Amino acid sequence: MAVTYELVKEVTARLYETSLRKIPEDTKQALRAAAGRDRSETARKTLRIMVQSAEAAERQQHFVCSDSGVPVYFVKLGTRVQLVGDFKRAIVDGFAELVRTISPPLLQHVTHPLTLERGYQGKDMPIVTYDLIDGADYVEITCSPKALGSGRWAALEIFSFPSLETIEGYVMQVILKAGSQHCPPVVIGVGIGGTFDYAAKLAKEAMLRPFGQPHAEPMVAAMEERLLKAANATGFGPMGTGGDTTAMAVHVNYAAGHGFTPVAVCFNCWINRRTRARLYNSGLVEYAE
């Protein structure tokens, strides 16, 4: 038995499509809870509209947002997985077929960065990164389509032997700069350490962590908790029109590094596109969202 080209093509397209039509359950719950808690009337109303919109999209199998973003996949390959056929090709073909068949059709968001021409395809699209899981007999694929609304506010800066005060001060600076722009309430991912490229990946992975799973190390979990309070003390609120709910979660990941410490901060907007599946050698597929 093996994980085949056909299976990867079908599952990656489905992960993308699901992320457009359905927001994760934990996110819906977080929005509902915030709608009952926020002290601002405008915020409560906005949060209720968000829940209504998400429910309507799911019920009608429509899109939550018209901006389907660009397709982004995070792949973790188990070292005991048998692959049959081209893996990246399967993802490219799966997206191309989705573009041809999805109803309603998608708008053109894949942008050539030098000419600003837009289409459904482009160099290196879909964006896929790969990691390994030693000993696993499955491939885990996370799909996180990314659009300008929240994508443009991610930031990274490199510090030299920073204190926690410096790191957290920088996170707040990025949050204040994003302000009302990134369709809050957002999920905030923070990646600390490693190298330039690795810190950004850590932040992305942190952002995609389900709610209610604080970092395993108490020191980092405490940082997540205090940064969430701090983000919500800013007052930007849902859609940036004021309130206590600017972020639904702050997730932090870190890696050891050298004396230079990159700090990366990224955001997922309130619809929190995040779908995940495991594809086993047996042909079984487990969908996590």
Partner 1 sequence: MSSTHQLTLPLQEAQVRALKTGDLVYLSGELVMTAGLPTHQRILACVQSGQPLPLNLAGEVLLQFGGYNREVDGRMQVVYMNPTTSTRFNPYMPTLIRKLGLRAVGGKGGLDAESARAMQESGCVYLSFPGGGCTLYSGAIREVLAVEWRDLILHYRLMRLRVENLGPGTVGIDAAGNSLYDQLAAQAAQRLPEILEQLRRARAQAAASRGAPS
| Closest to partner 1 by CB, 28 or 76 | 28
Rounded least distance, CB 28 to partner 1, Å: 12
| Closest to partner 1 by CB, 7 or 223 | 223
Rounded least distance, CB 24 to partner 1, Å: 13
| Closest to partner 1 by CB, 60 or 135 | 60
Distance CA 22, CA 59 (A): 9
For the chain, state the CA radius of gyration: 19
| Closest to partner 1 by CB, 96 or 172 | 172
Rounded least distance, CB 171 to partner 1, Å: 9
Rounded least distance, CB 6 to partner 1, Å: 29
Crossing angle of helices 218-233 and 164-178, rounded to 10°: 40
Distance CA 19, CA 29 (A): 17
Rounded least distance, CB 74 to partner 1, Å: 22
Distance CA 265, CA 89 (A): 31
Task: Catalog residues that contact partner 1 under the rule CB under 8 A.
Answer: 41-42, 45-46, 49-50, 52-54, 56-57, 60, 62-67, 104-105, 107-108, 118, 148-149, 164-165, 168-169, 172, 176, 179-181, 183, 218-219, 222-223, 225-227, 229-230, 233-242, 269-271
Residue 144, C-beta contacts closer than 8 angstroms, at least 6 positions apart = 19, 72, 73, 74, 204, 208, 268, 273, 274, 275
Task: Determine the Cα angle at 21 with ends 276 and 239, to 5°.
Answer: 100
DSSP bridge partners of 32? none
In terms of Cα–Cα distance, which of 269, 42, 253, 273 is closest to 178? Answer: 269
Rounded least distance, CB 81 to partner 1, Å: 35
Rounded least distance, CB 128 to partner 1, Å: 25
Distance CA 242, CA 234 (A): 9
| Closest to partner 1 by CB, 235 or 283 | 235
| Closest to partner 1 by CB, 158 or 172 | 172
Contact 99, 155 (CB under 8 A): no
Q: Residue written as tokens 């619809």?
A: 271
| Closest to partner 1 by CB, 56 or 284 | 56
Residue 213, C-beta contacts closer than 8 angstroms, at least 6 positions apart = none
